[in-house]
Structure 1
Amino acid sequence: MKQVWDDGELAENWNLKADEEILFKGKSAHAQLGIALQLKHYQAYGRFPKKTSDFALQIIRHVSDQLGIVSEGISSYDWEARSARRHRQEILKFLDIRRITARDRQQLITWLCNDVFSEGTEPNEAFDQACSYLLDRKLQCPSTKELDRLIRSAHNRFLQSVHRDISARLSGATREAIEVSLADPDVPIGFNGLKADPGRVSLDNILRTCSQLRFIRSLRLSTATFGGVSAKFLKRLKQMASNDTAWDMKQRPIERRHSLCSIHYCFRGREITDGLIDLLLETIHKIDASAQRKVMKELMADFQKVYGKERLLFEIADAALTDPDGAVCDVVFPVANPEVLSNLVKEYKSSGPGYKKKVHTVLRASYGNHYRKMLPAILDVLEFRSNNAAHRPLLDALDWIKRMRADNRRFIQLDEGLPVDGVVPKKWHEVIIDHDATNGPRINRINYEICALQTLRERIRCKEIWVVGADRYRNPDEDLPGDFEDRRPDYYGLLDQPMDAGEFIARVKKDMDRTLFELNAGMPRNKKVSLRTNHKNRICLSPLEPQPEAQGIAPIKAELAKRWPMTGLLDVLKEADLRIGFSDLFQTSGNREILDRETIQRRLLLCLYAMGTNAGLKRISAGPHGVSYKELLHIRRRFIGKDALRNAIGQIANAVFAVRNPEIWGEGTTSCASDSKKFGAWDQNLMTEWHIRYGGRGVMIYWHVEKKSTCIYSQLKRCSSSEVASMIEGVLKHCTDMDVDRQYVDSHGQSEVAFAFCHMLGFDLLPRLKAISRQKLYLPDPGKRQNYGNLEPILTRPIDWRLIEQQYDEIVKFAAAMKLGTADPEAILRRFTRSNVQHPTYKALTELGKAIKTIFLARYLGSEELRREIHEGLNVVENWNSANSFIFFGKGGEVATNRLEEQELSVLSLHLLQICLVYVNTLMMQRVLADPSWSRTLTTEDRRAITPLIYGHINPYGIFDLDMSKRLDLDFKVLT
């Protein structure tokens, strides 16, 4: 049961009705409260509660107030006593609930198969639905054990029918190919080989991935093979197959084996297609970048870079004009000696046409001698398409290359109809097109292939070209709501935006005019901001003055260390689970659980600790708890998945919000800050990259942390990937009760497109801009420049509202796709990059983003409080980042795996472990501050600086012993 209810929900679900008073006549006060709680619980959930802790304190107080009795009286109500059982029978009679019969049980099983499990619902999720089904039909809910048995029976029946139907649709050739892959599982097309990630960029990995994709395509699997089974259920079956070894899979009944393998291979086909495209794009980039580095290294060895070229050229020109008849050695050399002039000539050659030709020569040698072998294999297994006719020449070029692979000619005449425009950039024409004296203009075939691949990379990255059978690189139209035209009012209502573009623009204009007017009026009194008229950096912003240091935090930390000295981090994880029960969210990917739940819980916590600290399962298995490495590995494979970890993190975050004392932490916040942190990682994979700022190979983890150090979302990302997409994804996809309406980011988490989408999605983007001194303010209308005289140095052109009006529908469509989750923000934002600057919606988004950014800048420059608020919010993320290395201490803090799935699980386990620390520290600090002698000492600065993310009293190392009977002394009184 959820712990936080608003007044409307309490009234709807927990208000007593007049006709229900008959149940309370002649009963004692505590009996009345017990009957009332059982009655309303049964009416809400279709089953009776088992103990007082099943109710939120809000509910107990709400019901007791209606009865006119004190809520503490419930503590004397015995839920298992004979009187409580009699009360339950009276409630059933009052509600006219009858006992369930054998026929009713069969009807329940049939309903579960046809209406519940067919939608992808898991057995543990079906319990509440089954209770509601019985309540609607006025049937008494059986015992928990019996209802679980009925649900499991229905699920097994449904599974058998699904596997039987899918297996029957497979051809004999497909079944035979599946058996071949299981017979030799470690070859590239074997069961284990197909699970492997593509690996790092290399020709061998490209050819291996192509062979895997050819094998999967030969199985001829499609959505029709699975006969309308829900995507959610198919995803669960795919996870079940992924967790199996080849030996496990071969032990399954033949129908189930063929069904699971076909589902697994169908999903893997999409993943392998995406991986192959990633390999292709990275290979094209690698060839080009390597050629440029090699040429630049050679050129830099021959000359020194010339600085101050404009001044030098001016002095040369001035000297030449002063003495036009003089000798060069007398006029020019005194200004610039021959060595400087030589370096100047070489530097020009290093960036002009000569440089381009040299780069292309090196690139051509690398591609022609090695990487060219990949092209036929890639064109055989990937089918490129576009929804834009402007890119037809590129598709024709790829078709020509595929069709003419047997033609060994080195040169192709231009008059043979080979597409040039749209394939070969104009800047490369003089390098690519060769003018033969005999046969006229011609193109070197290898050069042409290189240009086609480079253009293909640009178009795929902005999704102008898409690939059949891919997932991330699929048809971009599939990312958008298909019924937008039919349900336009619903989508506009989802975003809370007006359907009329004029009304929307009028709102934004009004906000721009108001904020610019307020900033203009306040500039004469704004001592922290000054504007320069004759400087490149026109905004001069004074640094924030340091706030008074909080003196009362150190004694509180010392008290924590005194009361709970060297508390084990494993004990923190255990305590959080015993209070919250998040381990119940980790269910087996198999058909049933053989181990008892206590054993599973114990091993789960050890696995999560091993992964969250990066110590590893083998290290943890060496502890005195008696759990072996193989037993932990079984739990890791069968129970721990990304979805379960995210749900657990959300449950812990909600528990933190529920347990907080507002007198200490303040009222609930709707502000969140996000930033990334680099972690070292193995590099035989496509996720790991060299970080251009921090140096070293690694990955980035992008955190979303609210103002009191509770992280609500985390993502694993590449070092070069957009932080804007990660920022939006975290706001939209976090699975907590928090509503984010203010998002703090640094410079890398913002862009003009980001401002536009954040406005459409209903939250404020508040960045701390590194380049604040070079920012400009846009005008709402051309004739209003004179209204903002104090801002003249930083004013620029008016917003082009016509573009926004023309593309308003498209902007709403893309924003709605993000909101509904039909596509990831990264997939949407990939279409709106500088490489796709001609996209009309991109132009409109940048104009809208400029308007919203202007509103933000006007507020930012005019309010020191806002600047301090953003700075404080981002400091919280930095504090969160500082704790990462304390917890993720194993293997030098490096993500020691090349498998993407394991990298993601490590990150999520770290997140879970760290948020458990925040939860337990919250309870510890509230325990200390419950003493008036401590709470009275807190100053305003102390309350501002207090944070639950401290770890001086925590020991993450040592002997890993898990004693489930030992609890931390937090004075947590459980109502029973």
Structure 2
Amino acid sequence: MRQDWEPEDLIEVWTLLEDDMAKLRNKSGANRLGFALLLKFFEVEARFPEDAGDVPKAAVEYVAQQVKVPAKEWTAYDWAGRAIKRHRVEIREAYGFRVCTEENQAQLAEWLAVELCPVELSRDRLAEAVVARCRRQLMEPPTPGQVGRLVGSAVSTFEERFCQAATGWLSATTRTLLDELVVEDVGGAEGEGRVGGGTAFFTELKADPAGLGLESLLGEITKLERVRRLQLPPELFADVSEKQVAAWRARASKEYPSDLRAMKPQMRYTLLATLCHVRQTEITDPLVDLFIQLVAKINTRAEKKVEGEFVKELKRVRGKEGILLRLAEADLSGGRGVHAQSARGGGEGERGPLPRAGAHGAAFVLLESLAADAQAVAEGAGAEGQQHCLPAGDGRDRPAQEVSGPADQGGGALRRGGEDPSGAGGAGAVVQGRGR
């Protein structure tokens, strides 16, 4: 019972009514005060206080004023004498309650084991359920200590029956494989030659995936295959509440292999079977998510690689020599000025008007070295080539060095550009062609 009471609460709960006062007529002193306090306490709690400290001090003072007995007489009340036993009998009869016998306690324990333990894990709530059931049956509940022992007995009974039922579903092969999960490794590699996997797999079984990656995915697949080899029946825990299964799974995860080996076989098999049963679902669902994430990661990397290759292709100019050669041939045949652009190192080149060589001639500047095949075609087209060597930086003010082409072609030859004589600059070629 709570110890802090507000004045209005005291008046509402601890006020003695006319019928209550009638029961006090033949009592006096400490017995009068003690009977009045026991009466109101039982009315609130449906049980008797275990000692004087269970009754709030504020209630003692308030009731003492009503019965005209000093509050200090409460300490003189005999808790082991005949008077208190007689008072309890009288109060039970007044409210129509009976004593909870040992037979009644056994029935309460059985009721807990069958009805509440399969769905309720909190022992405090189980104890509250016992007190509430006693009130409904107009039976004085056992003392708090007795209720605690009663609840413990009910839980033990339920666990024993639960383990017996779960073990009954397991085949001899499955039990052997479950034992191999916690068997002590003696020499050699851990779990070597065992389908169960040994203590190494038992530790691995309780662990979550290491991270996103192919190795983690394969590890989870292997773990799932090993769990399925245990051949656990699908209907093993079909009639058990999810809350109860989760509690046994958590309990198994906290146990060490040595502790499990020391347990009774039925308890060990139930704990291991619960752990493997739940882990099979816990591994399967995240495994799908892990596979989806891994595929998405691979796709992202592939897209980035393709985009990178595409950008490189855009930056790279293929067949520059052929493009420039076709421009030269078109200009030589049509007599129009042509602007040529070249790229050096993937960037943009210089462009500008080229001087005309004649009425039907054209000139173009190549800021890039030409391949041998382009040179040969240009020579065949009757182009006159001049080589301009540019120094590093802006060397456009330097004079060009003219290189004449073969005389038998009717014009200059197209020559590859080289470095300038000082070795400090790129070279380009100015080609002039005349129409024939």
Q: 3-state SS of the aligned residue for 2:118?
A: helix
Alignment match, 2:319: none
Is the aligned partner of 1:157 residue 2:160?
A: no
User: 274, 281, 285: which is aligned to 2:285?
Assistant: 274
Aligned Cα root-mean-square deviation (Å): 4.8
Q: 3-state SS of the aligned residue for 2:236?
A: helix
Inter-partner Cα distance in structure 2 for 1:289 and 1:54: 71
Alignment match, 2:210: 199
Q: Summarize the alignment of residues 8-19 of structure 1 with structure 2, pairs less than 5 Å apart.
A: 19=19
Is residue 166–residue 226 contact of structure 1 (8 Å, CA) maintained in 2?
yes
Alignment match, 1:173: 173
User: 259, 270, 283: which is aligned to 1:248?
Assistant: 259
1:128: Cα distance to partner?
1.6
The structure, 1 or 2, with the larger RCO (C-alpha pairs under 8 Å, 6+ apart) is 1
Q: 3-state SS of the aligned residue for 1:237?
A: helix
Is the aligned partner of 1:288 residue 2:299?
A: yes
Inter-partner Cα distance in structure 1 for 2:36 and 2:314: 90
Is residue 38–residue 88 contact of structure 1 (8 Å, CA) maintained in 2?
no
Is the aligned partner of 1:34 residue 2:37?
A: yes
Inter-partner Cα distance in structure 1 for 2:304 and 2:221: 29
Is residue 119–residue 241 contact of structure 2 (8 Å, CA) maintained in 1?
yes
Is residue 121–residue 244 contact of structure 2 (8 Å, CA) maintained in 1?
yes
Change (3 A) 1:127 1:119: same
Alignment match, 1:234: 245
CA displacement 1:786-842 (0-9 Å, x = unmatched): xxxxxxxxxxxxxxxxxxxxxxxxxxxxxxxxxxxxxxxxxxxxxxxxxxxxxxxxx
Inter-partner Cα distance in structure 1 for 2:290 and 2:235: 29
Alignment match, 2:123: 123
Change (3 A) 1:141 1:205: same
Change (3 A) 1:148 1:171: same
Inter-partner Cα distance in structure 2 for 1:18 and 1:267: 62
Alignment match, 2:409: none
Inter-partner Cα distance in structure 1 for 2:55 and 2:314: 78
Inter-partner Cα distance in structure 1 for 2:23 and 2:234: 55
Inter-partner Cα distance in structure 2 for 1:78 and 1:68: 16
Change (3 A) 1:230 1:274: same
Q: Summarize the alignment of residues 219-230 of structure 1 with structure 2, pairs less than 5 Å apart.
A: 219-221=230-232, 224-226=235-237, 228-230=239-241
1:244: Cα distance to partner?
0.5
CA displacement 1:456-513 (0-9 Å, x = unmatched): xxxxxxxxxxxxxxxxxxxxxxxxxxxxxxxxxxxxxxxxxxxxxxxxxxxxxxxxxx
TM-score by length of 1: 0.27
Inter-partner Cα distance in structure 1 for 2:301 and 2:2: 56
1:99: Cα distance to partner?
3.0
Inter-partner Cα distance in structure 1 for 2:314 and 2:104: 89
Report the residue type matching 2:279 in the other structure. Answer: R
Inter-partner Cα distance in structure 2 for 1:204 and 1:79: 77
Report the residue type matching 1:109 in the other structure. Answer: A
1:14: Cα distance to partner?
7.9
Alignment match, 1:144: 144
Structure with max Cα Rg? 2
Q: 3-state SS of the aligned residue for 1:174?
A: helix
1:88: Cα distance to partner?
4.6
1:197: Cα distance to partner?
0.8
Inter-partner Cα distance in structure 2 for 1:287 and 1:4: 66
Change (3 A) 1:99 1:121: same
Inter-partner Cα distance in structure 2 for 1:108 and 1:98: 15
Is the aligned partner of 1:209 residue 2:220?
A: yes
Q: How many residues align?
A: 301
Q: 3-state SS of the aligned residue for 1:191?
A: helix
Change (3 A) 1:105 1:76: same
CA displacement 1:301-326 (0-9 Å, x = unmatched): 9999xxxxxxxxxxxxxxxxxxxxxx
Inter-partner Cα distance in structure 2 for 1:147 and 1:27: 34
Change (3 A) 1:338 1:245: same
Is residue 3–residue 55 contact of structure 2 (8 Å, CA) maintained in 1?
no
Is residue 41–residue 48 contact of structure 1 (8 Å, CA) maintained in 2?
no
TM-score by length of 2: 0.55
Is residue 47–residue 131 contact of structure 1 (8 Å, CA) maintained in 2?
no
Inter-partner Cα distance in structure 1 for 2:19 and 2:37: 17
Alignment match, 1:102: 102
Inter-partner Cα distance in structure 1 for 2:293 and 2:182: 31
Inter-partner Cα distance in structure 2 for 1:24 and 1:192: 69
Q: 3-state SS of the aligned residue for 2:134?
A: helix
1:196: Cα distance to partner?
0.6
1:117: Cα distance to partner?
1.3
Is residue 14–residue 40 contact of structure 1 (8 Å, CA) maintained in 2?
no
